[in-house]
Structure 1
């Protein structure tokens, strides 16, 4: 399959962006969770602006990588494969069907962490702490999905089609 130049360039760009986002997320995760994040530290964020900034960086990068994967790279890849544009959930189901994503439900659960990490902290340190730790423990889910999509893009660029 020969892809139009614009499609090749868009996919290559998105792969580069995802690579950078993974690197930045890993750095932010290391900064925010070393030493391990405690509930006490989260409860005391108002008096620890340095930690608050590290957690904000982690949260932002976690959410940004999710957005890039789900809203940009996945749709661009599916379009390159001849799929019609669809809503995120439909695209995720296709990704699961193709074996690129282990679980749509898991992805949706991670996606729902966004509101808990961004909004709930105002009122509930327990919710924020649990959400941050869950996100941290699932960075590998984003990395694995990224790897699957990048591998598929590379295969397309080499003329191999899978799916």
Structure 2
């Protein structure tokens, strides 16, 4: 078992990611109930905009926090030296260790997130298509978090 400082950092970051995932799951469920389509995406009411804002915020925060905080915390807790390790190498190492299903899939999820968060197409249809891709990616992202959570429990026991 690693030093308690690394485990405490892992626990805190994991809890933060779980909170984002809970809110993201709620937003995804509400989006399914609302059943927005491309036509309705052109004329969103205040509640729909708030829902989409919640989704966008939690989706981007979860992915950012997992990639920049949780995954490095996992590697440090496992005793890996990541000081000089580029992000892509960290993802590949997590895949090798069984903590990430696929480093390539993570990179694809990151590309979808970047297109959703940073590109603003003029067409409502294109914006809607990016939303659909992001919603699908968000579900995959939560699956990644589930794998990490199971691995944490198996390797370190209940940190709560």
Give TM-score scaled by structure 2 length: 0.84
Q: Secondary structure of 2:120's match? A: helix
Q: Secondary structure of 1:55's match? A: helix
Q: Secondary structure of 2:39's match? A: helix
- Asked if the contact 2:10/2:74 (under 8 Å) is kept, the reply is yes
Question: Distance between the aligned counterparts of 1:20 and 1:89, measured in 2?
Answer: 25
1:153 aligns with 2:152: yes
1:1-163 aligned at under 5 Å gives the runs 2-45=1-44, 48-85=45-82, 86-121=85-120, 123-158=122-157
- Asked if the contact 1:25/1:62 (under 8 Å) is kept, the reply is yes
Aligned residues: CA RMSD? 1.9
Give TM-score scaled by structure 1 length: 0.83
Report the alpha carbon displacement of residue 77 of structure 1 after superposing the two structures with TM: 0.8
Q: Secondary structure of 1:34's match? A: helix
What are the Cα deviations for residues 29-56 of structure 1, in whole angstroms up to 9, with x where unaligned?
Answer: 12233232211122223xx232122111
Question: Distance between the aligned counterparts of 2:139 and 2:6, measured in 1?
Answer: 28
Question: Distance between the aligned counterparts of 1:65 and 1:103, measured in 2?
Answer: 18
Question: Distance between the aligned counterparts of 1:114 and 1:81, measured in 2?
Answer: 28
Report the alpha carbon displacement of residue 122 of structure 1 after superposing the two structures with TM: 5.2
User: Where do 5+ consecutive residues of structure 2 fail to align?
Assistant: none
- Asked if the contact 2:21/2:62 (under 8 Å) is kept, the reply is yes
User: Where do 5+ consecutive residues of structure 1 fail to align?
Assistant: 159-163
